[in-house]
């Protein structure tokens, strides 16, 4: 892992980040689409960073790893509204970019699709995603666990239905299983 500090922000680059990009390109995936997806992830995190800066704090760390980009927020957030604003900013950027792309191009572009998917995925009520953290914040812990468990059960039913119908994507089942386990582990 490479690590450096710039203006008080700790940046980390894990081996898995360039490895996943390289592996994806080697396996014949469309490199342009891969770069668009990576750019959308970066724009999502830039949305969070911009919101932090507007609120007078900066991130403590940014880690680039095989699963994406992880932002460690500042510990000096001033209350509920500021934290909710920061947590929702990434998804808001994705939805705004998707809308602008559709308006400018007059069709649903790949860029718009990726932004819609990324914004929607990050709103899922899973603990480490923006949606899970927003639910914890909004419900102050009361009832948040129940919502996450119901979501995990729905995900498990979705996976079972996919297996039953014979439309199984191994990667999708792995992601769904990981999400369920992470919900019950938190």
Tens of pLDDT along the chain (186 residues) come to: 899 999 888 999 999 888 887 877 777 667 788 888 888 998 999 999 999 989 888 888 999 988 788 888 877 767 888 989 999 999 999 999 999 999 999 999 999 999 999 999 898 887 778 988 888 888 876 777 777 778 777 877 877 777 787 766 777 777 777 777 776 666
Percentages of the chain per state (helix, strand, coil), in multiples of 5: 65, 10, 25
Q: Whole-angstrom Cα distance, residue 150 to residue 180? A: 10
Q: Whole-angstrom Cα distance, residue 49 to residue 53? A: 6
DSSP-based three-state secondary structure for 172: helix
Beta strand 68-72 with 2-6 is unpaired
Contact 99/52 with Cβ under 8 angstroms? no
The residue extents of the domains of the chain are 1-123, 125-186
Which phi-psi region, left, alpha or beta, contains residue 145 (left: φ > 0; alpha: ψ -120 to 50)?
alpha
Radius of gyration of the chain (CA): 18
Look at residue 133 in the predicted model and tell me its pLDDT. 84
């Amino acid at each position: 892992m490479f690590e450096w500090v710039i203006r008080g922000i700790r940046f980390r680059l894990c081996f898995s980040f360039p490895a996943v990009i390289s592996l994806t390109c080697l396996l014949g995936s469309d490199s342009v689409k891969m770069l668009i997806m990576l750019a959308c992830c970066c724009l999502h995190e830039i949305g969070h960073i911009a919101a932090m800066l507007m609120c007078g704090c900066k991130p403590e760390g940014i880690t680039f790893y095989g699963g994406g980009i992880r932002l460690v927020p500042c510990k000096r957030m001033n209350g509920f509204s500021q934290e909710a604003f920061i947590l929702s900013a990434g998804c808001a950027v994705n939805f705004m970019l998707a809308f602008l792309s559709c308006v400018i191009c007059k069709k649903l572009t790949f860029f718009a699709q990726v932004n819609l998917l990324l914004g929607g995925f990050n709103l899922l009520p899973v603990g480490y995603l923006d949606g899970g953290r927003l639910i914890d914040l909004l419900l102050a812990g009361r009832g948040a666990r129940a919502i996450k468990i119901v979501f995990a059960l729905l995900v498990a039913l979705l996976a079972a239905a996919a297996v039953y119908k014979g439309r199984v994507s191994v990667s999708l089942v792995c992601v769904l299983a990981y999400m369920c386990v992470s919900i019950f582990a938190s």
